[in-house]
């Protein structure tokens, strides 16, 4: 089954509204003809409405980097799915390792956020991945499979695979320049797809997109994209400049694996 690749920019805590506007203005003409790939930009909350307004007539998907699963109420500092949709967000990153590690989000919270995003009609990009210690001690699959199982436990049975995106992001590869080898990325992502077939069904596993994240760059993107189960990238550092993000988008569009 052919899955449409996705190339997603995770700006993290970067860019003022003005910088976001300049970036988006430069990106739009470059992706106008990008066919066969979904381009997504995950902005800080502060620039989301501006970017959403600018991309309205394009195919660019704009999203937030986090939200809370309740819809309203006494949750100081939080933003709900409906608030994000109100300003034009179509997608949201859920459970990024920086949220898990710096802000203490656990598997249950991540799972509830993923399920709520789907229910609200936002496309969640659910992040999973192991630390260096876990990989070195042979605990990588325990960690990653546990994260995936917990997310699927919370997800309604009727949810289609197209409504969910996973991002396998080994924590030791994020922002370090230390990318997983294409074979390691394929190995992990292939196993995640197999697990999804087991805990849900083959249709779900065939339709769900699984991205790789962790120091993806113009010089390694083609080899990673060439892996059969890798459906795209979630990119931090190399997405901050339009020039390099455009190279990643082109590589994803050209990939036919
Ligand atoms: P990186 O970040 O590309 O800078 O490694 C990826 C991510 O954290 O999503």
Of the residues 50, 98, 169, 246, which is catalytic? 169
Q: Which pTM does this prediction carry?
A: 0.97
Average the pLDDT over 179-188 and give the result.
95
For the cut 60, the answer to whether the pLDDT of residue 1 exceeds it is no
- Its domain, for residue 246, covers 6-256
Ligand 1 neighbour 93 (Cβ under 6 A): no
Average the pLDDT over 162-185 and give the result.
94
**Mean pLDDT score of the chain, rounded to an integer?**
96
| 235-252 per-residue burial string, b: 16 or more CB within 10 A, e: under 16 | bbbbbbebebbbbbbbbb
Ligand 1 neighbour 213 (Cβ under 6 A): yes
Instruction: Give the distance (Å) from ligand 1 centre to CA of residue 73.
Output: 32
Q: How confident is the model at residue 255 (pLDDT cuts 50, 70, 90)?
A: confident
Q: Give the helix/strand (H/E) hosting 238.
A: none
122 inside domain: yes
pLDDT in tens, 144-164: 999 999 999 999 999 999 999
Rounded to the nearest 10°, the torsion over CA 77, 78, 83, 88 is 90
CA distance 141 to 241: 33
Higher pLDDT, 84 or 33: 84
For the cut 70, the answer to whether the pLDDT of residue 249 exceeds it is yes
For residue 99, the number of C-alpha atoms closer than 13 Å in the C-beta half-sphere is: 22
Q: Does the active-site annotation cover 169? A: yes
Question: At a CB cut-off of 8 Å and minimum separation 6, what does 64 contact?
Answer: 42, 43, 45, 48, 79, 84, 89, 91, 92, 93
pLDDT of residue 201: 97
82 inside domain: yes
Ligand 1 neighbour 235 (Cβ under 6 A): yes
Domain count for the chain, please give it.
Answer: 1
52 inside domain: yes
pLDDT of residue 208: 98
Report the CATH number at residue 42: 3.20.20.70
155 inside domain: yes
If one residue of 92, 215, 220, 240 were mutated to test the ligand 1 pocket, choosing by the most ligand atoms within 8 A of its CB, it would be: 215
1 inside domain: no
For the cut 90, the answer to whether the pLDDT of residue 32 exceeds it is no
């Amino acid at each position: 089954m052919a899955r449409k690749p996705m190339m997603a920019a995770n700006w993290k805590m970067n860019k003022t509204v003005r910088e976001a506007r300049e970036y988006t203005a430069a990106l739009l003409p470059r992706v106008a003809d990008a066919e066969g790939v979904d381009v997504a930009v995950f902005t800080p909350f502060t620039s989301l409405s501006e970017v959403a307004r600018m991309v309205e007539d394009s195919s660019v998907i704009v999203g937030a980097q986090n939200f809370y699963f309740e819809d309203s109420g006494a949750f100081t500092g939080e933003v709900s799915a409906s608030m994000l949709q109100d300003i034009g967000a179509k997608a949201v990153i859920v459970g990024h390792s920086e949220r898990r590690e710096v802000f203490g989000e656990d598997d249950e919270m991540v799972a509830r956020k993923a399920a709520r995003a789907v229910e609200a009609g936002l496309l969640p990009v659910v992040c999973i991945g192991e630390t260096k210690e876990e990989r070195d001690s042979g605990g990588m699959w325990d960690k990653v499979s546990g994260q995936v199982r917990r997310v699927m436990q919370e997800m309604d049975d009727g949810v289609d695979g197209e409504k969910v995106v996973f991002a396998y992001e080994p924590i030791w590869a994020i922002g370090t320049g230390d990318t997983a080898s294409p074979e390691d990325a394929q190995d992990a992502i292939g196993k995640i797809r197999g697990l999804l077939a087991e805990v849900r069904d083959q249709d779900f596993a065939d339709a769900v997109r699984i991205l790789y994240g962790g120091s993806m760059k113009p010089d390694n993107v083609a080899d990673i994209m060439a892996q059969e189960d890798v459906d795209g990238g979630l990119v931090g550092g190399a997405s901050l400049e339009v020039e390099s993000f455009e190279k990643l988008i082109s590589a994803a569009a050209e990939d036919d694996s």
